[in-house]
Amino acid sequence: MSDGADSCWQDTLSDEAYRVTRCGGTEAPFTGQYWDTKTPGTYHCVCCDVALFASATKYASGSGWPSFWQPIAEGVVAERRDVTHGMVRVEVLCAACEGHLGHVFPDGPQPTGLRYCINSASLRLEASET
């Protein structure tokens, strides 16, 4: 990432959103804005505003982070191997801007069996009336 692009992100995002999305950080469990919200709507990337997850796929995982069993559409999230912190995990990123969102785990509910464990700081909820 160029210094100019980095500066743009710093100017645009909150300190916490920048730390999470552009530096690969993680917010503490049970502290993020959306970990327990039940508001219907669409969750967008806080960086580039692409729609990522629908509230209909959000569920209470008990993890302390917003959890979804699938993205809103195929190809909106990208995945890559993450071997930081002495673990092997699958990192989830916004496919459009490569912002760090969280991780995906194979312990979620059906129909996918996946748990997209996402940082609230990487999301913006666009509430809907239904």
What is the chain's pLDDT, residue by residue, as a tens digit (130 residues)? 445 567 788 889 999 999 999 999 999 999 999 999 999 999 999 999 999 999 999 999 999 999 999 999 999 999 999 888 888 899 999 999 999 999 999 999 999 999 999 999 999 999 997 6
Residue 22 CA to residue 117 CA, distance in Å, equals: 17
The strand pair at 100-105 and 115-118 is best described as: antiparallel
pTM: 0.92
Residue pair 43/55 in contact by the 8 Å Cβ criterion: yes
Distance, CA of 122 to CA of 13 (rounded, Å): 10
117 is catalytic: yes
Catalytic residue among 45, 47, 94, 117: 117
